[in-house]
Structure 1
Amino acid sequence: MKRIIIIILGVGLLVGLGIYTSQLISKKGTSDENLAAFNFDIKDTASVDKIIITEPNGMEMTLLRSGTTWTDEKGQCVQSAQVFNILDALYNVRFKGYIPENGVKLVINRMATIGIKVQYFQHGDWSKTWYIGGSTSDHHGTFMLVESEEAGKSDLPVIAEIKGLKGIIEPRFFADSRRWQCSGIFAYQMSEIAEVNVKFPDRKDRNFEVRKIKDDYLVKFGGKYLTSLDTNMVYRYLLNYKRINFENPNFELTNKQIDSLKKTKPFCELNLRTVKNEKKKLRMFRIQATSTGESEVDDFGDKATYDVNKFWCELPNGEIVKCQYFVFNPIIMGHIYFNPNRYATKPQG
């Protein structure tokens, strides 16, 4: 009898422990789901209308939504693909795992020194902030900490990942405005252009001008007007202005070097006027070639002591960017479109 009682008590104890353990696990799961440490995502990304990215050096970038368009604080265009990368991370981010106890202190210290802060706003109000502190050793996770309006700030960082992606989150977030700016210089339809004037200070024989007069065009090449003009060639030339982009912002020249560059003579100057009388001016400067021991030849067939692939360009706002001849040649090499042998001394009509 005593033995049976002991067995019954033992079974009861095991059952009780099982129930207690089950409850603990259930409570832990419920608690974890509500912890701030897990709530990184915002599923309604369409409601996100402001993002502020702050780097450890204090550099800050603000992105603003207006309808379906994103701009910076000054209303300037930003690259939509890069905004999409952020919103994609915001939607698909998820908890991956805990940081080993012996590594928590190191991660917190890293966050304090190299961490990136990202603030999200929904419908104009702050909603959530990420603190991004670098990647795991296998580069399949990112150390992150989150603060939200409803749950406050999590006490400890955890490892997060983007669903369906083996990689780190951090490269999507940067505050250097140069990396955000749109690269477009011209995006005009042919009908929007009233006049284009291209000048080569050292080669005036290459200068040309295209001007719209009512429904017709007048072309001047090398200082003289063309008497016989193939209008189709004018159309082909003006169609190039649909999309002219620079390659890269300036990551190389210092302010002093930029000032010096602007004081030198440009190899080409382009002035454009639209039918609404908007004016844009570009000044283009050679880049000194790196010595290779071989003579370079430019697109005119001349020997070149400069980089024949890229040049510096001063935009209408004074900014210096790097451009490719391949992109610009169709709008600065007039002889491609206009036969310079058909001249008149004055405009016709």
Structure 2
Amino acid sequence: MKRIIIIILGIALLVGLGIFTSQLISKKGKSDEQLAAFNFEIKDTASVNKIIITEPNGMEMTLVRNGSTWTDDKGQCVQPVLVFNILEALYNVRFKGYIPENSMKTVINRISTLGIKVQYFQNDNWSKTWYIGGSTSDHHGTYMLIESAEAGKSDLPVIAEIKGMKGIIEPRFFADPRKWQCSGIFAYQMEEIAEVNVKFTGRPDRSFEVRKIKKDYLVKFGGKYLTSLDTNMVYRYLLNFKRINFENPNYELNDKQLDSLKRSTPFCELKIRTTKGEKKKLRMFRIKATGDPEVDDFGDQATYDINRFWCELPDGQVVKCQYFVFNPLIMGHIYFNPNRYATTQ
């Protein structure tokens, strides 16, 4: 009987030691992997002064911190909210789970061929690189692989997420410069504007100009100067120039179509001169309507899109704009009564 008890205890001891050893090995392996997984984050995002995003097609976007602002590598403005989205992900990224063994090969292939590469630099020194391989099937996690200056490149990807958020990380990262560029066209305070000239091609009765002469203003509408002018209406008009943005960069027109557009006659030209001598000129082109004719803001039957138009900026770039934004700048009859005319000059 004692012999049987001793045998049973011995077997139990061996089983216990086996389980304990197995747990130690398992914990040791997972601890190393978890350390690598959590190494995605950078808590000191203020030290990050350069980010390079590379898409699978080779398109690359470099973001550079200049003091408190971010630009591209040419010094051009980029949208700060998009940079904030990246830094927020960098601060809050965390390990979510491991990839099942039977899916590992597929995920690695996806990262190798379709993954987005994101390089982070702290104080001008490369720190980490993310390899982003798309989302999990439930879209609540992202397949990612880490490479760092301290630990080198990880052999196996894991599933990551952003703390406190459900969703995937990948949409925050893209290299198309058109998506990054600032949409601001100009932002002028009323007192900065010396002259505004709006010319409607083929409709001189709608053209007008506003000029600042010392502390007074002169308004010309339809080729004639106004004899009676409500200065408050001039102020209201000039206040509209405080912040003007375009809606979207050009994603539709190819080079040949752009050349053709620029050679065509704009329906309106807007010129601005500031008190410091800065000059800007915008050329506006109609977009052909795809449906039945509608009535525009002048009450005319329109064969063009009454919501959006193409605009050539001072640097030659063509962008899509909204009439809703520009009408307060080009519809002078709202602010200046065209019936109060002096002698034509």
TM bucket by the smaller chain? over 0.9
Please give the alpha-carbon distance, in whole angstroms, between the structure 2 residues aligned to 1:12 and 1:111: 46
Amino acid at match of 1:200: F
Q: Pick which of 262-271 and 41-50 moved more.
A: 41-50
Please give the alpha-carbon distance, in whole angstroms, between the structure 2 residues aligned to 1:205 and 1:346: 13
| Alignment gaps of 5+ in structure 1 | none
Please give the alpha-carbon distance, in whole angstroms, between the structure 1 residues aligned to 2:75 and 2:343: 46
Amino acid at match of 2:341: Y
**Offset at 1:5?**
4.7
- Note the 1:177-216 alignment, pairs <5 A: 177-216=177-216
CA deviation vs aligned residue, 1:255-304 (integer Å, no higher than 9, x gap): 10000000000000001011111111000000011133xx3111111111
2:71 corresponds in structure 1 to: 71
2:94 corresponds in structure 1 to: 94
Amino acid at match of 1:201: T
Please give the alpha-carbon distance, in whole angstroms, between the structure 2 residues aligned to 1:113 and 1:3: 61
Residues 110 and 7 of structure 1: is their aligned pair in 2 closer, same or farther, counting only changes over 3 Å? closer
- Note the 1:323-342 alignment, pairs <5 A: 323-342=321-340
1:135 corresponds in structure 2 to: 135
1:54 corresponds in structure 2 to: 54
Residues 84 and 279 of structure 1: is their aligned pair in 2 closer, same or farther, counting only changes over 3 Å? same
Amino acid at match of 2:148: S
- Using the size of structure 2 for normalisation, the TM-score is 0.94
Please give the alpha-carbon distance, in whole angstroms, between the structure 1 residues aligned to 2:99 and 2:167: 17
Please give the alpha-carbon distance, in whole angstroms, between the structure 1 residues aligned to 2:28 and 2:114: 35
**Offset at 1:140?**
1.2
2:300 corresponds in structure 1 to: 302
2:312 corresponds in structure 1 to: 314
Please give the alpha-carbon distance, in whole angstroms, between the structure 2 residues aligned to 1:23 and 1:200: 80
- Using the size of structure 1 for normalisation, the TM-score is 0.93
- Note the 1:221-236 alignment, pairs <5 A: 221-236=221-236
CA deviation vs aligned residue, 1:230-272 (integer Å, no higher than 9, x gap): 1100000000001111111111101100000000000000010
Residues 67 and 208 of structure 1: is their aligned pair in 2 closer, same or farther, counting only changes over 3 Å? same
**Offset at 1:18?**
5.6
- Note the 1:1-349 alignment, pairs <5 A: 2-3=3-4, 5-6=6-7, 9-10=10-11, 12-13=13-14, 16-17=17-18, 19-21=20-22, 23-35=24-36, 37-292=37-292, 295-345=293-343
Q: Describe the SS at the equivalent of 2:325.
A: helix
**Offset at 1:21?**
4.3
Residues 307 and 4 of structure 1: is their aligned pair in 2 closer, same or farther, counting only changes over 3 Å? closer
Residues 43 and 318 of structure 1: is their aligned pair in 2 closer, same or farther, counting only changes over 3 Å? same
Between the two proteins, what is the percent identity of the paired residues? 75
CA deviation vs aligned residue, 1:76-127 (integer Å, no higher than 9, x gap): 2111111111111111111112222222221122222211111111111111
Q: Describe the SS at the equivalent of 2:232.
A: helix
Amino acid at match of 2:316: G
Please give the alpha-carbon distance, in whole angstroms, between the structure 1 residues aligned to 2:120 and 2:268: 45
**Offset at 1:229?**
1.0
Q: Describe the SS at the equivalent of 1:156.
A: coil
CA deviation vs aligned residue, 1:144-172 (integer Å, no higher than 9, x gap): 11100001001121111111222111111
**Offset at 1:24?**
3.1
Q: Describe the SS at the equivalent of 1:31.
A: helix
Amino acid at match of 1:273: R
Please give the alpha-carbon distance, in whole angstroms, between the structure 2 residues aligned to 1:23 and 1:145: 25
Q: Pick which of 96-105 and 247-256 moved more.
A: 96-105
Contact 2:310 2:320 in 1 (8 A): yes
CA deviation vs aligned residue, 1:295-345 (integer Å, no higher than 9, x gap): 311111111111111100000110111111111000001111111122223
**Offset at 1:67?**
2.1
Aligned length, in residue pairs: 344
**Offset at 1:31?**
2.3
Amino acid at match of 1:334: G
Please give the alpha-carbon distance, in whole angstroms, between the structure 2 residues aligned to 1:92 and 1:225: 61
Please give the alpha-carbon distance, in whole angstroms, between the structure 2 residues aligned to 1:262 and 1:254: 12
